[in-house]
Amino acid sequence: MQKPDPHILTIFGASGDLARRKLIPSIFNLYLQDLLPQHFALLGTGRKKYTDESFREHMKEALETFSGDKADPASIRPFLECLYYVSIDTSDPAEYTRLKQKLDTLNQQLDTGDNHIFYLATPPSLYAKVAHSLAAQGLAIKKTGWSRIIVEKPFGYDLASSRELNHQFREVFDEEQIYRIDHYLGKETVQNIMVTRFSNAIFEPIWNRNYVHHVEITAAESIGVGDRGGYYEGSGALRDMFQNHMLQLVALVAMEPPVWADSNSIRNEIVKVLESLRPFTEEDLANNVIRGQYMESMIRGEPAKAYREEYGVDPDSRTETYVGIKFYIDNWRWKDVPFYVRTGKRLPTRVTEIVVHFQPTPHHIFSDYDKGDINSNKLIIRIQPDEGLLIKYGMKVPGAGYDVQTVNMDFHYTDLSEVYLPSAYERLLHDCMLGDSTLYARGDAVECAWSYVDPILKYWEKNPGKSLYGYPAGTWGPKEADDLIEEKGLTWRYPCKNLTDDGIYCEL
């Protein structure tokens, strides 16, 4: 695999949770696969007063905790030698001269070509300040070497703030230098949506309104908000999952074939889908957007807290931990095909999948089997866990007559036992090092997604008392979300941990 140019990767917020849990272990994995350049340094920065040595010690512990068996002393030691630290108050532009000095020294010592990646793992309130302070030090648009900036989500809080943030970044960086993380795009199975669609001749001809009855996308989590209540209170499921991860999945399922598999061709098609989302009417907002909040219950014999009892959460909170939405894409391919998307915390299991429901057969000749929509063909793209692909189709039951039953044709990634599945962060970091932004969200896509959800946020603000339904923790969300799929015989699929199983009771 291609190796990146020499560079220094600077992480703002290096002692934080994201760096310890995800970033450092991912960079370590790249190191183990020999995918880092020979001339490379990772510079941590933040308020904490580490020295290079104490930062290395701290990161050693992180690797021992989060990298499992891979973290043996023989591999960790040389990796830690690439790590450095400079303590600055990120919110004070004057302190960036020290950052610049440290970078210059490292650049000279290690011959890193004056190339830089800056990773913002800080609170979003600091994003604009960091970008401008880097620019003031000549580290944004540069005469020698290259500079890229990676921004964590949330990218904005609503349409206005995302526009403002884009504006702030673009004052000092070119769009090509800005890498907005949506970690779902880094998942191998998410990238495989495009490969399934565009490298097989059998799916694309039927991937449209003539053959697809509806599309269902679920991102369920069994965990609650844990200790992130403070953040989640200001976010909720719509901002936290739907505006970014879910809409990116929708775009990949619905997009037209890109001209090439390069960053701009793919991202142009993503934006076209987001631009084609049919705007919500007042009636849609009232009936087709269901929000829920988990309430206390017993899960497998254990008491489970209500959201309102979680740490950092207002006891009268009206923040949604679940959202289920029915909507349409107004373009040639998808006109009037309903899309149903749901995401929530404290659901029965952790699963993310896309279900394409095909039209039932036009004429029914075998008993009752193909009379209802329930038995139409389905293609299930499982993002996680038990990653794979499943096709459900009718098959004759052996014996007299023509009894038909639904059977499965399935592929599981685990069957490719010798293939290593990189983590999302590992893939995304490596792509940024190579200058490939395909799997990062482009500024216009982020704004399009916000302009789509903005009316929902405004509607909720205007009607705070409306449509927030409780659901017992450990169930599939409020029952009102089931009514979104009104047609007779149709329901959501209730997926289990294993790709091939479904049903309301499978996790019990």
**Which residues contact ligand BG6 (rule: CB under 6 A)?**
153, 221, 240, 352
- For residues 270 and 249, what is the distance between their CA atoms, to the nearest angstrom? 10
Count of other CB atoms within 10 angstroms of residue 276 = 19
The set of residues, in sequence order, having a beta carbon less than 8 Å from that of 415 and lying 6+ positions away, is none
| Percent composition of the chain: helix, strand, coil (DSSP 3-state, to 5) | 40, 20, 40
Residue 181's closest CA among 381, 445, 384? 445
Task: Using alpha carbons, select from 290, 291, 214, 284 the residue that is nearest to residue 253.
Answer: 214
Rounded CA separation 205/29 (Å): 40
Phi and psi for 447 in degrees, rounded to 5? Answer: -65, -40
Give the helix/strand (H/E) hosting 219: strand 212-220
Amino acid at 26: S
Chain centroid offset of residue 60 CA:
28
Of the candidates 165, 129, 173, the one whose C-alpha atom is nearest the C-alpha of residue 148 is: 173
Q: For ligand BG6, which is the closer residue by CB, 6 or 229?
A: 229
Q: Which of 328, 325, 306, 326 is nearest to 317 (CA)?
A: 306
Cβ burial 407-427 (10 Å sphere, 16+ → b, else e):
eeebeebeeeeeeeebbbbbb
The residue among 221 and 353 lying less far from ligand BG6, judged by its C-beta, is: 221
Nearest distance, CB of residue 299 and ligand BG6, angstroms? 18
Q: Catalytic residue among 245, 363, 364, 412, which? A: 245
Closest CA to 21 of 121, 95, 109, 111: 121
- In the complex with ligand BG6, the residue whose CB is nearer, 107 or 235, is 235
Residue 184 contacts residue 460 (beta carbons within 8 Å) = no
The smaller minimum CB distance to ligand BG6, of residues 289 and 347, is found at 347
Give the residue among 390, 341, 307, 379 at the shortest CA–CA distance from 220: 341
Q: Which residue has the tokens 């920065």?
A: 45
Burial of 18 (0-12, 13-18, 19+ CB in 10 A): middle
Catalytic: 116? no
Strand partners, 304: 297
Instruction: Check residue 329 and report its DSSP letter.
Output: B
Q: What is the DSSP letter of 5?
A: P
User: Which residues lie across from 87 on neighbouring strands?
Assistant: 46
Q: Give me 136's structure tokens.
A: 């003031």
Contacts of 71 by beta carbon, 8 Å cutoff, 6+ apart: 28, 63, 64
**Judged by CB, which is closer to ligand BG6: 224, or 258?**
224
Residue 166 or 352 having the CB closest to ligand BG6:
352
Rank residues 189 and 437 by Cβ distance to ligand BG6 and give the closer one: 189
| Segments of 377-422 assigned E as strands | 378-384, 388-396, 404-412
Where do we find the tokens 């880097």? 134
Q: Which residues are known to be catalytic?
A: 245
